[in-house]
Amino acid sequence: MAASFGVSSAAVALADHAVKSSAFPLPSLTVIRSEARPISGRVNRSRKAGKISTHAVAAQTENPASAASKPGHEVLLFEALREGLEEEMERDPRVCIFGEDVGHYGGSYKVSKGLADKYGDLRVLDTPIAENSFTGMAVGAAMTGLRPVVEGMNMGFLLLAFNQISDNCGMLHYTSGGQFTIPTVIRGPGGVGRQLGAEHSQRLESYFQSIPGIQMVACSTPYNAKGLMKAAIRSENPVVLFEHVLLYNLKERIPDEEYVVSLEEAEMVRPGEHVTILTYSRMRYHVMQAAKTLVNKGYDPEVIDIRSLKPFDLYTIGNSVKKTHKVLIVEECMRTGGIGASLTAAINENFNDYLDAPIVCLSSQDVPTPYAGTLEEWTVVQPAQIVTAVEHLCR
Amino acid sequence: MALYLSKSGKFLPHFITKMSSLGMINLSSLGSCLSQNPPLLTEDGRTSYAAPGNDPTHFVCRRFGSVKADKLASISTNADSQLLNFPGGVVKFTPELKFLSDAPEERIHCYRVLDESGHLLTSDFVEIDKDIAVRMYKEMVMLQTVDTIFYEAQRQGRISFYVTAMGEEAINIASAAALSMDDFVFPQYREAGVLLWRGFGLQDLANQCFGNIGDNCKGRQMPAHYGSKKHNYFTVASTVATQIPHAVGAAYSLKMEGRDACTITYFGDGGTSTGDFHAAMNFAAVLEAPVILFCRNNGWAISTPVSDQFRSDGIVVRGQAYGIRGIRVDGNDALAVFSAVHTARKMAISESRPVLIEALTYRAGHHSTSDDSSKYRPIEEIEWWRAAQDPVGRFRKWLEMQGWWSCESDTELRGWARQEVLNAIQVAEKAEKPGLREIFTDVYDVPPSNLRDQEKSLRQTVQRHQRDYPHFQF
């Protein structure tokens, strides 16, 4: 499989982003760059059109990928994740899954459904209820050559695994002087759902973002979910893949042929000129809903799904800021210490000269998520708030 | 059932012993449900399970895999409800309102081969030939020497920190000697001897403690936090007991590969109070993972004596609580430790099961260089253990009785060892420290943009203030 992904095509792809990745040797598979605009003058002829999709746009309504290549097939997001998992398990016998009820039960959101039947109870392992310990197990297995995918039944439960994630996952590659790698993927559903209660509505990306040594990505569409899952499994670093409880049933047509998306890249959802709206995961949909209203009101927002929560794709973000000079961040994290807080700092530091106005960050309040539907609804940023914020920014 | 046994060859001996010990039905082993390749549903064996149209959940599989429905009925009517097939297995009823005792009548006995004067107390031990025995002794002496001199070096301010294994030399060396190089070692931090046995050099030890350019951990960890992939010795982390689940995970990976190797993990009495210990023991049992769980019960967790750590009869009794075989050994007896580990290793690999070893010993040194244990325990106690139960001395006496060692050899060895260690320290001390670049490498496989920026910024700072920081270089 690896043979079909030539180093040359990856190397040529690098030329497009020379500033960003001058010292960044890519692994030898073609990683799809996300471009919103239909390919104009930037066609890379050396990209193999045969086996892999040459476009990487993931929009809800239109999908040039499907137009350019074969029709593809429709999947729900959880199925896309499963496809990604299954393809990687097929390709590499070292990939295994640990988690509660991932085996015969198929996982709490059915991401691993059918995999235990196909690969056996040992490779798709049901663990007892001890997150810190099965994450530790994954670290040990990873250090000895396996590539475990750990599922937290709900991301919030991974708080119990914090010690193993921060002190071992994130650190052992470093403290061992590079001798041991920890190629694990830690994934699970998080975010505010529909009345799941405070403990099941955690946004762990806030808590984990400081841990050195891990990468964090958040998927938001079936297309990027499958691509990120595959990329995360292939990565030599520990990757935390954030899924959202409410997005598992999103439907989209994805390519039949194999593809992987870049772990470190943001996704251009809707190019625009007036304001840069940065978001990720479920809030992407609230933003796009607000965008409809904004377009009707005559605004032209540029919407970027940052996807990579650690490290930030400051290249894509920077280009956007340089164009629009105004930034609105829409996140589900709480105000204090969230991804938005860090992103605000990073943009201010790096692109201060390009900003015409202070960055606005819309986040959830610093409260545990209440159960009652009406209360819960207003702890999450709503499209109306996004519209107001843009109108304010673009005054 | 029969079909399953034939497919899961590894589980066979385990199964049979379980079945015979339980008498009629084996429901407790998940082995019948775990298989590396054949899925539960597609085998012919499915018909023999005859699950009534449901997905074979573990419970269903266990229940129907072992007891046919008609047999179940006959049990309950015949024995007039003396037992019941609960989830988890058949249990007999009792009319007595009786609680299990909190402690066994007598503490579990401790396996010992040599007495304090080096005399053999039994013939029930694994014989070692002269070469191994002498090598074991030499390494024990070397470990003692390393500990003494490195400790002194810390006191002299040459290194910042050190942990000794005083009193646990037999545990370190004898357990290492009983393993193969293919076995993965997951240490806590008092197992430098295991690494010495495997061939990690004195210079390597010294380099790590001084964090110099020769350190294979690139100056990243505290002294005595060794790690060497080459020697299958996983880098020490300061976090307590986090290595136990790692060991279980690694054993899982060995099991997947079907390798002739096991993992071993060491931890202290204090470490057994952690959540990770509990869950790892449980996992190891459920997974049937080939791991040796070696507890160095040395009586102290910094200043906390075992009486404040737990109220069970030490650690060995916990094995049964998890369904794991265990043994208690005299940790100061090299032959006993060797025999126990040797046998445990065989069991772990051939039967694919975890084994618990509790080695009773005494922490003759301080917890670390940041501790003065005379503050919380009487000096007489420390002195007594050091002298009367010294594992090195005891082993030497046995060796001398075998005619394999002599006084002169001892003096010569100790003199040589001391010199070697001092040399290693001197060389390590003079060596350069790693370049500042190593702050940023190995965080990820490739440094991301934020780290590259941070490195650039640091480089600029150092260059700008070259005069104030002449020794720092990239």
Q: What is the pLDDT of residues B104-113, one digit of tens each?
A: 899 999 999 9
Of the residues B236, B283, B288, the best mutation for testing chain A's interface (the one with the most A CB atoms within 10 Å of its CB) is B283
Within a domain: residue A1? no
Of the three residues A225, A255, A285, the one that is the final residue of a domain is A255
pLDDT at B472: 76
Q: How far apart are alpha carbons A157 and A142 in whole angstroms?
A: 21
Which range, of A103-112, A329-338, B189-198, B341-350, averages the lowest pLDDT?
Answer: A103-112
- Is A229 domain-assigned? yes
Domain co-membership, A186 together with A150: yes
- Does residue A306 form part of some domain? yes
pLDDT at site A65: 56
Q: Residue B26 — very low, low, confident or very high, per pLDDT cuts 50/70/90? A: very low
Model pLDDT, residue A64: 55
Q: What are the chain A neighbours of B37 within 8 Å (beta carbons)?
A: 120
Taking the C-alpha atoms of residue B29 and residue B24, their distance in angstroms, rounded to an integer, is 14
The mean per-residue pLDDT over the stretch A182-189 comes to 96
In chain A, pLDDT over 70 holds for what percent of residues? 82
Q: What is the mean pLDDT of residues B406-427?
A: 96
Contact of B41 with chain A, judged by CB distance below 8 Å, is answered with yes
Section A190-214 average pLDDT = 93
Q: What is the pLDDT of residues A339-393, one digit of tens each?
A: 999 999 999 999 999 999 999 999 999 999 998 888 899 999 999 999 999 999 9
Is A136 part of a structural domain of the chain? yes
Q: Is A43 inside any structural domain?
A: no
Residue A276 lies in a domain: yes
Q: Are residues A188 and A300 in the same domain?
A: no
What is the average pLDDT score of chain B?
Answer: 85
Q: Give residues 123 to 162 of A whose Cβ lies within 8 Å of B.
A: 123, 125-128, 130, 132-146, 148
- The residues in A 271-330 lying below 8 A from B, measured between CB atoms, are 311-312, 314-315
Whether A213 and A308 share a structural domain: no
Residue A70: the pLDDT is 61
Residue B25 has pLDDT above 60, yes or no: no
Checking if the pLDDT of B9 tops 90, the result is no
Which of A145, A169, A116, A239 lies closest to B263 in space, CA to CA? A145
Say how far residue B465 (Cα) sits from the centre of its chain: 48
State the pLDDT confidence band at B470, using cuts at 50, 70 and 90: confident
Confidence category of residue B201, pLDDT binned at 50, 70, 90: very high
Asked whether residue A251 falls in the same domain as residue A273, the answer is no
One-letter identity of residue B194: V
Do A201 and A297 lie in one domain? The reply is no
DSSP symbols for B339-380 = HHHHHHHHHHHHHT--EEEEEE----S-SSTT--GGGTS-HH
Compute chain A's Rg from CA coordinates. Answer: 20
Q: Residue B304: which H helix or E strand, with range? A: strand B304-305
Residue B61: partners with Cβ closer than 8 Å, 6 or more residues away: B32, B33, B40, B49, B51
Q: Is A131 a catalytic residue?
A: yes
Distance between B184 CA and the closest CA of chain A, angstroms: 9
Range of the domain at A357: 267-394
Residues of B with a catalytic annotation lie at 152, 238, 367-368
Q: Single out the residue of A382, A105, A54, A66 nearest to residue A222, CA to CA.
A: A66
Asked if residue A301 and residue A184 are part of one domain, the reply reads no
Q: Cβ of B199: how many Cβ atoms within 10 Å? A: 11
pLDDT at site B16: 40
3-class secondary-structure state, position B120: strand
Structure tokens at A128: 């007892």
Q: ipTM above 0.90?
A: no
Whole-model pTM above 0.80?
no
User: Which stretch of A52-56, A203-207, B183-187 has the lowest confidence by average pLDDT?
Assistant: A52-56
Q: Are residues A174 and A251 in the same domain?
A: yes
Is A116 a member of any domain? yes
Q: What's the CATH number where A193 sits?
A: 3.40.50.970
**pLDDT at residue B469, as a whole number:** 79
Of A255, A280, A304, the residue that ends a domain is A255
Same domain, A251 and A301: no
Residues A96, A244 share a domain: yes
B218 CB neighbours in chain A (<8 A) are: 177-178
Which of these three, A210, A227, A255, is where a domain ends? A255
CB contact under 8 A, A141 and B245: no
Query: How much is the pLDDT for B66?
Result: 33
Q: Considering the domain boundaries, does residue A203 fall inside one?
A: yes
Q: Are residues A185 and A273 in the same domain?
A: no
Q: Which residue, chain included where needed, has tokens 């790698």? A: A181
Q: How confident is the model at residue B79 (pLDDT cuts 50, 70, 90)?
A: low
Question: Which CATH number do you get for residue A291?
Answer: 3.40.50.920
> B325-330 and B355-360: which strand pairing?
parallel
Which of B235, B287, B452 lies nearest to residue A180, judging by beta carbons? B235
Name the average pLDDT for chain A: 85
Count up the domains in chain A and report the number. Answer: 2
Is residue A294 located within the same domain as residue A360?
A: yes
User: Which band of pLDDT confidence, cut at 50, 70 and 90, is reported for residue A69?
Assistant: low
Q: Are residues A224 and A278 in the same domain?
A: no
Residue B285, H or E segment: helix B275-287
